[in-house]
Amino acid sequence: MANNKTVLIKIKRQANPQSKSYWEEFALSWKPGMNVISSLMDIAANPVTRDGKPTAPITYDSNCLEEVCGSCAMLINGKARMACSALIDKLEQPIRLGPLSKFPVVRDLSVDRSVLFENLKSVKAWVPIDGSYDLGSGPRLTPEDQEAAYPLSRCISCCCCMEACPQFNESTGFVGAATISQVRLFNTHPTGKALKRERLAALMGDGGIQECGYAQNCVEVCPKDIPLTRSIAEVGGEVMKQAIGELFRR
Ligand code: SF4
Ligand code: SF4
Ligand code: FES
Protein backbone atom coordinates (compact mmCIF):
# COMPACT_ATOMS: atom_id res chain seq x y z
CA MET A 1 0.00 0.00 0.00
CA ALA A 2 1.45 3.39 -0.94
CA ASN A 3 1.93 5.93 1.84
CA ASN A 4 2.69 9.60 1.63
CA LYS A 5 3.99 10.19 5.14
CA THR A 6 7.23 12.17 5.22
CA VAL A 7 10.11 12.02 7.67
CA LEU A 8 11.99 15.31 8.16
CA ILE A 9 15.63 15.09 9.21
CA LYS A 10 18.07 17.97 9.79
CA ILE A 11 21.71 16.94 9.72
CA LYS A 12 24.74 18.87 10.90
CA ARG A 13 27.40 18.50 8.25
CA GLN A 14 31.10 19.19 8.17
CA ALA A 15 33.33 18.32 5.20
CA ASN A 16 36.53 17.82 7.18
CA PRO A 17 37.98 18.42 10.67
CA GLN A 18 38.96 22.02 9.82
CA SER A 19 35.92 23.22 7.87
CA LYS A 20 32.84 25.02 9.21
CA SER A 21 29.73 23.06 10.03
CA TYR A 22 26.32 23.74 8.44
CA TRP A 23 22.87 22.14 8.48
CA GLU A 24 21.03 20.37 5.65
CA GLU A 25 17.44 19.19 5.71
CA PHE A 26 16.07 16.03 4.10
CA ALA A 27 12.51 14.81 3.50
CA LEU A 28 12.25 11.01 3.27
CA SER A 29 9.33 8.71 2.52
CA TRP A 30 8.23 6.99 5.72
CA LYS A 31 8.61 3.20 5.88
CA PRO A 32 7.56 0.91 8.73
CA GLY A 33 10.35 0.16 11.24
CA MET A 34 12.67 2.94 10.02
CA ASN A 35 15.55 3.86 12.27
CA VAL A 36 18.16 6.61 12.04
CA ILE A 37 20.73 4.42 10.24
CA SER A 38 18.20 3.16 7.69
CA SER A 39 17.24 6.81 7.06
CA LEU A 40 20.90 7.68 6.44
CA MET A 41 21.02 4.74 4.01
CA ASP A 42 17.94 6.13 2.22
CA ILE A 43 19.72 9.49 1.90
CA ALA A 44 22.81 7.73 0.50
CA ALA A 45 20.60 6.08 -2.14
CA ASN A 46 19.21 9.48 -3.16
CA PRO A 47 21.36 12.31 -1.80
CA VAL A 48 19.07 15.27 -2.48
CA THR A 49 18.10 17.88 0.13
CA ARG A 50 14.52 18.81 0.98
CA ASP A 51 14.69 21.75 -1.45
CA GLY A 52 15.88 19.54 -4.33
CA LYS A 53 19.62 20.28 -4.22
CA PRO A 54 21.94 17.31 -4.97
CA THR A 55 24.44 16.85 -2.15
CA ALA A 56 27.08 14.38 -0.94
CA PRO A 57 25.81 11.34 1.02
CA ILE A 58 26.21 11.66 4.79
CA THR A 59 29.32 10.18 6.38
CA TYR A 60 28.63 8.23 9.58
CA ASP A 61 29.96 5.15 11.38
CA SER A 62 27.97 1.94 11.79
CA ASN A 63 28.57 -1.75 11.56
CA CYS A 64 26.51 -4.27 13.51
CA LEU A 65 23.11 -2.51 13.27
CA GLU A 66 22.07 -4.19 16.54
CA GLU A 67 23.62 -2.06 19.30
CA VAL A 68 26.69 -4.24 19.73
CA CYS A 69 29.62 -2.60 17.91
CA GLY A 70 29.21 0.84 19.52
CA SER A 71 30.20 2.74 16.39
CA CYS A 72 27.00 4.62 15.54
CA ALA A 73 26.76 6.92 18.58
CA MET A 74 25.66 10.44 17.66
CA LEU A 75 23.49 13.28 18.97
CA ILE A 76 19.88 12.53 18.11
CA ASN A 77 17.58 15.41 19.02
CA GLY A 78 20.40 16.61 21.27
CA LYS A 79 20.87 13.33 23.15
CA ALA A 80 23.83 10.96 22.84
CA ARG A 81 22.50 7.59 21.70
CA MET A 82 22.92 4.78 19.22
CA ALA A 83 21.54 5.54 15.76
CA CYS A 84 20.82 1.90 14.86
CA SER A 85 18.36 1.48 17.72
CA ALA A 86 16.73 4.93 17.44
CA LEU A 87 13.34 4.31 15.85
CA ILE A 88 12.04 7.14 13.68
CA ASP A 89 8.47 6.72 14.93
CA LYS A 90 9.61 7.43 18.48
CA LEU A 91 11.45 10.68 17.63
CA GLU A 92 10.09 14.19 17.53
CA GLN A 93 10.38 15.76 14.05
CA PRO A 94 12.23 17.39 12.45
CA ILE A 95 14.80 14.93 13.77
CA ARG A 96 18.14 16.67 14.44
CA LEU A 97 21.28 14.62 13.93
CA GLY A 98 24.72 15.87 14.89
CA PRO A 99 28.11 14.39 15.71
CA LEU A 100 29.07 13.78 19.37
CA SER A 101 30.19 17.25 20.46
CA LYS A 102 33.16 16.34 22.68
CA PHE A 103 35.13 14.38 20.12
CA PRO A 104 36.92 15.72 17.02
CA VAL A 105 34.77 15.55 13.90
CA VAL A 106 36.24 13.44 11.09
CA ARG A 107 33.42 14.23 8.66
CA ASP A 108 29.66 14.85 9.12
CA LEU A 109 28.48 12.46 11.86
CA SER A 110 31.71 10.51 12.16
CA VAL A 111 33.97 11.43 15.09
CA ASP A 112 37.36 10.31 16.37
CA ARG A 113 36.78 8.45 19.65
CA SER A 114 40.35 7.25 20.09
CA VAL A 115 40.57 9.08 23.45
CA LEU A 116 38.55 6.25 25.00
CA PHE A 117 40.95 3.63 23.67
CA GLU A 118 43.91 5.65 24.95
CA ASN A 119 42.23 5.89 28.35
CA LEU A 120 41.63 2.13 28.39
CA LYS A 121 45.31 1.60 27.58
CA SER A 122 46.33 3.94 30.41
CA VAL A 123 44.50 1.76 32.96
CA LYS A 124 45.62 -1.53 31.38
CA ALA A 125 42.06 -2.64 30.72
CA TRP A 126 42.92 -6.21 29.84
CA VAL A 127 43.72 -9.58 31.43
CA PRO A 128 47.51 -10.01 31.31
CA ILE A 129 48.10 -13.41 29.72
CA ASP A 130 50.48 -12.55 26.85
CA GLY A 131 53.81 -14.34 26.94
CA SER A 132 55.79 -17.18 25.48
CA TYR A 133 55.26 -19.65 28.36
CA ASP A 134 52.38 -22.04 28.70
CA LEU A 135 50.50 -20.55 31.63
CA GLY A 136 48.11 -23.48 31.96
CA SER A 137 44.47 -22.91 32.74
CA GLY A 138 43.56 -19.83 34.77
CA PRO A 139 41.62 -19.81 38.04
CA ARG A 140 37.97 -20.72 37.73
CA LEU A 141 35.33 -17.99 37.83
CA THR A 142 32.41 -18.85 40.09
CA PRO A 143 28.91 -18.40 38.65
CA GLU A 144 28.47 -15.52 41.15
CA ASP A 145 31.61 -13.79 39.84
CA GLN A 146 30.46 -14.33 36.26
CA GLU A 147 27.10 -12.82 37.06
CA ALA A 148 28.73 -9.76 38.66
CA ALA A 149 31.15 -9.30 35.74
CA TYR A 150 28.65 -9.75 32.92
CA PRO A 151 26.89 -6.35 33.13
CA LEU A 152 30.29 -4.60 33.14
CA SER A 153 31.52 -6.62 30.18
CA ARG A 154 28.65 -5.30 28.04
CA CYS A 155 30.38 -1.96 27.39
CA ILE A 156 30.44 -1.27 23.63
CA SER A 157 32.87 1.70 23.81
CA CYS A 158 30.25 4.00 22.30
CA CYS A 159 31.38 7.04 24.36
CA CYS A 160 27.80 8.18 25.13
CA CYS A 161 28.66 8.29 28.85
CA MET A 162 31.60 10.60 28.16
CA GLU A 163 29.58 12.87 25.87
CA ALA A 164 26.92 13.31 28.57
CA CYS A 165 29.36 13.84 31.43
CA PRO A 166 29.81 17.50 32.48
CA GLN A 167 33.27 16.64 33.79
CA PHE A 168 34.54 15.09 30.55
CA ASN A 169 36.23 18.06 28.92
CA GLU A 170 39.64 19.38 27.98
CA SER A 171 40.19 21.29 31.21
CA THR A 172 39.75 18.26 33.49
CA GLY A 173 41.20 15.58 31.20
CA PHE A 174 38.80 13.23 33.03
CA VAL A 175 39.03 9.61 31.82
CA GLY A 176 35.26 9.13 32.03
CA ALA A 177 32.88 6.53 33.40
CA ALA A 178 33.49 3.76 30.82
CA THR A 179 37.18 3.52 31.69
CA ILE A 180 36.49 3.49 35.43
CA SER A 181 33.93 0.74 34.99
CA GLN A 182 36.41 -1.34 33.00
CA VAL A 183 38.88 -0.96 35.88
CA ARG A 184 36.25 -2.50 38.15
CA LEU A 185 35.70 -5.33 35.67
CA PHE A 186 39.37 -6.26 35.28
CA ASN A 187 40.24 -5.72 38.95
CA THR A 188 37.64 -8.29 39.98
CA HIS A 189 38.82 -10.88 37.43
CA PRO A 190 40.97 -13.57 39.15
CA THR A 191 43.80 -13.17 36.63
CA GLY A 192 43.15 -9.55 35.71
CA LYS A 193 43.56 -8.43 39.32
CA ALA A 194 47.34 -8.96 38.99
CA LEU A 195 47.38 -5.39 37.61
CA LYS A 196 44.94 -3.97 40.16
CA ARG A 197 47.47 -1.72 41.90
CA GLU A 198 48.65 -0.21 38.59
CA ARG A 199 45.10 0.39 37.40
CA LEU A 200 44.14 2.17 40.63
CA ALA A 201 47.34 4.21 40.51
CA ALA A 202 46.44 5.34 36.98
CA LEU A 203 43.15 6.72 38.31
CA MET A 204 44.81 8.91 40.96
CA GLY A 205 45.60 12.56 40.34
CA ASP A 206 44.57 14.90 37.52
CA GLY A 207 42.07 13.43 35.09
CA GLY A 208 41.47 10.51 37.45
CA ILE A 209 38.44 9.41 39.41
CA GLN A 210 38.49 12.48 41.67
CA GLU A 211 37.25 14.58 38.70
CA CYS A 212 33.86 12.83 38.81
CA GLY A 213 31.22 15.17 40.20
CA TYR A 214 28.73 12.31 40.56
CA ALA A 215 26.16 14.04 38.34
CA GLN A 216 25.02 10.58 37.13
CA ASN A 217 24.35 11.68 33.54
CA CYS A 218 26.53 8.78 32.41
CA VAL A 219 24.35 6.04 33.82
CA GLU A 220 21.24 7.61 32.29
CA VAL A 221 22.53 7.55 28.71
CA CYS A 222 24.42 4.24 28.72
CA PRO A 223 22.68 2.09 26.07
CA LYS A 224 23.81 -1.11 27.81
CA ASP A 225 22.48 -0.17 31.28
CA ILE A 226 25.90 -0.59 32.86
CA PRO A 227 25.82 0.28 36.58
CA LEU A 228 28.33 3.10 36.09
CA THR A 229 27.71 5.04 39.29
CA ARG A 230 28.16 1.84 41.32
CA SER A 231 31.45 1.24 39.49
CA ILE A 232 32.57 4.82 40.20
CA ALA A 233 31.70 4.46 43.91
CA GLU A 234 33.46 1.09 44.26
CA VAL A 235 36.59 2.03 42.30
CA GLY A 236 36.67 5.42 44.08
CA GLY A 237 36.75 3.63 47.45
CA GLU A 238 39.59 1.35 46.26
CA VAL A 239 41.60 4.28 44.91
CA MET A 240 41.19 6.08 48.23
CA LYS A 241 42.25 2.97 50.21
CA GLN A 242 45.35 2.54 48.07
CA ALA A 243 46.26 6.23 48.30
CA ILE A 244 45.98 6.22 52.11
CA GLY A 245 47.99 2.98 52.31
CA GLU A 246 50.75 4.53 50.22
CA LEU A 247 50.79 7.61 52.43
CA PHE A 248 51.40 5.49 55.53
CA ARG A 249 54.10 3.46 53.83
CA ARG A 250 56.18 6.56 53.14
S1 SF4 B 1 28.74 10.49 37.63
FE2 SF4 B 1 28.62 12.43 36.52
S3 SF4 B 1 30.65 13.32 36.62
FE4 SF4 B 1 30.83 11.14 37.15
S5 SF4 B 1 31.26 10.11 35.23
FE6 SF4 B 1 29.04 10.06 35.48
S7 SF4 B 1 28.29 11.89 34.41
FE8 SF4 B 1 30.50 12.15 34.72
S1 SF4 C 1 29.78 2.55 29.63
FE2 SF4 C 1 27.90 2.54 28.41
S3 SF4 C 1 27.77 4.59 27.53
FE4 SF4 C 1 29.86 4.31 28.25
S5 SF4 C 1 31.02 3.57 26.50
FE6 SF4 C 1 30.32 1.75 27.62
S7 SF4 C 1 28.36 1.22 26.69
FE8 SF4 C 1 28.82 3.29 26.02
S1 FES D 1 25.73 0.00 14.28
FE2 FES D 1 26.71 -1.12 15.88
S3 FES D 1 25.91 -0.19 17.67
FE4 FES D 1 24.84 0.80 16.08
Q: Tens-of-pLDDT digits for all 250 residues of the chain?
A: 446 799 999 999 999 999 999 999 999 999 999 999 999 999 999 999 999 999 999 999 999 999 999 999 999 999 999 999 999 999 999 999 999 999 999 999 999 999 999 999 999 999 988 777 777 888 888 999 999 999 999 999 999 999 999 999 999 999 999 999 999 999 999 999 999 999 999 999 899 999 999 889 999 999 999 999 999 999 999 999 999 998 888 7
Report the atom number in ligand 3 closest to the C-alpha of 158. Answer: 3
What ranges in 114-211 are assigned the alpha helix state H? Answer: 114-122, 143-153, 160-164, 177-187, 196-202
Helix (H) or strand (E) run with residue 7 in it: strand 6-13
Tell me the C-alpha distance between 72 and 99, whole Å.
10
Measuring from each residue's beta carbon to the nearest atom of ligand 2, which residues come in under 6 Å?
Answer: 155-161, 177-178, 181, 222-224, 226, 228
Q: Which atom of ligand 3 is nearest to the CA of 156?
A: 3
| Cα-Cα end-to-end distance for the chain | 78
The dihedral built from the CA positions of residue 190, 194, 197 and 200, taken in this order, carries a sign that is: negative
- The amino acid at residue 146 is Q
Give every CB contact of residue 102 below 8 A, 6+ residues apart in sequence.
Answer: 162, 163, 168, 169
41 lines ligand 3 (CB under 6 A): no
Of the candidates 122, 123, 127, the one whose C-alpha atom is nearest the C-alpha of residue 188 is 127
Q: Tell me, in angstroms, the distance from the centre of ligand 3 to residue 123's CA.
A: 25
Q: Rounded to an integer, what distance in angstroms lies between the CA atom of residue 159 and that of residue 116?
A: 7
| CA pair distance 231, 192, nearest whole angstrom | 16
Rounded to two decimals, the pTM is 0.94
Query: Which ligand 2 atom sits nearest the alpha carbon of residue 218?
Result: 3
In angstroms, the CA 44 to CA 9 distance is 13
Q: Which ligand is nearest to the CA of 160?
A: 2
Residues 6+ apart with CB under 8 A from 197: 242
Q: Ligand 1 pocket, 169 CB below 6 A?
A: no
